[in-house]
């Protein structure tokens, strides 16, 4: 059974940093593209970033140059380093596995709140 | 960036009826990389349809997807009480790589 468990969310001040993790199990992690999708309060889903099995990341325009996505295949873990956070980054962040462009398995999410 | 616009924003129907949800892209997209999701409050989103028309594992055949180019449709036949949720379309482009979601249609 595919399982994705996010962690690392919390309350952070504007301008601060936070690192999210996603621990994967139940599949051959190294062979899959993995990504993050977020949902701000009262809004819809927004794609944030993804990383190919090769290790090459790509980002949405809203987080490029502030967020860094990486993976450790030896630990089956995905990392999202977030810097220069603003209130607009407040959201529930979901980790998801991507296959042929679609996110076929999702975690339950970790909440990031940016506030002073 | 490809913009996806869903219509309607909300849809009021009764159990047993048919729902038709639309998603229009700002430019032609590859139908291999078009998907639909169901999202309920407090739950993770669930993949319903990938590659425009392929149902994900465990998704009943009441759900069907169609479309090409810039216009895509999700049809839900014989609505059950469990189908009332928000539905999102999503696309992926590989050059440069990126994804976008529609703004969602709330089925109530």
pLDDT, tens digit, for every residue of B78-107? Answer: 999 999 999 999 999 988 899 999 999 999
Residues of B in contact with A105 (CB under 8 A): 47
* Inter-chain CB proximity B104 and A45 less than 8 Å: yes
Residue numbers of chain B with a pLDDT score lower than 70: none
Q: Which two tokens stand for residue B22?
A: 């639309």
A101 CB near a chain B CB, below 8 Å? yes
Q: Which two tokens stand for residue A8?
A: 């690392």
Kindly state the average pLDDT of the residues A7-30.
Answer: 98
- pLDDT above 90: residue A36: yes
**Cβ burial B36-66 (10 Å sphere, 16+ → b, else e):** bbbbeeeebbbbbbbebbebbeebeeebbbe
Strand-pair partners of B49: B36, B55
Nearest-CA distance from A39 to chain B in Å? 11
Phi, psi of A102 (to 5 degrees): -110, 145
Could you read off the pLDDT of A78-110 as tens digits, one per residue? 999 999 999 999 999 999 999 999 999 999 999
How many angstroms separate the Cα of A105 from the Cα of each of B13, B18, B27?
29, 27, 27
Best residue in A1, A6, A34, A45 to probe B by mutation, most B CBs within 10 Å? A45
- Mean of per-residue pLDDT scores for chain B: 97
pLDDT of residue B95: 86
Report the alpha-carbon distance of residue B2 to residue A106 in Å, rounded.
23
């Amino acid at each position: 059974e595919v399982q994705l468990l996010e962690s690392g969310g919390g309350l952070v001040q504007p301008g601060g940093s936070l690192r999210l993790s996603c621990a994967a199990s139940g599949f051959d992690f190294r062979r899959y593209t993995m990504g993050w999708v977020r949902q701000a309060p009262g809004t819809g889903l927004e794609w944030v970033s993804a990383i190919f099995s090769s290790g090459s990341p790509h980002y949405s325009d809203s987080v490029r140059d502030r967020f860094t996505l990486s993976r450790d295949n030896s630990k089956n873990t995905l990392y999202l380093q977030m810097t220069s956070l603003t209130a607009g980054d407040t959201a529930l962040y979901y980790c998801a596995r991507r296959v042929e462009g679609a996110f076929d398995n999702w975690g339950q999410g970790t909440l990031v709140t940016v506030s002073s | 960036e490809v913009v996806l616009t869903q219509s309607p924003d909300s849809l009021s129907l009764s159990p047993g009826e048919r729902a038709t949800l639309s998603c229009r892209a700002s430019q032609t997209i590859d139908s291999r990389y078009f998907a639909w999701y169901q999202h309920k409050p407090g739950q993770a989103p669930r993949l319903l349809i990938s590659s425009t028309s392929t149902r994900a594992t465990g998704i009943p055949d009441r759900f069907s997807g169609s479309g090409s180019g810039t216009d895509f449709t999700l049809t839900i036949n014989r609505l059950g009480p469990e189908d009332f949720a928000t539905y999102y379309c999503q696309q992926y482009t590989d050059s440069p790589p990126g994804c976008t979601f529609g703004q969602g249609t709330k089925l109530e």
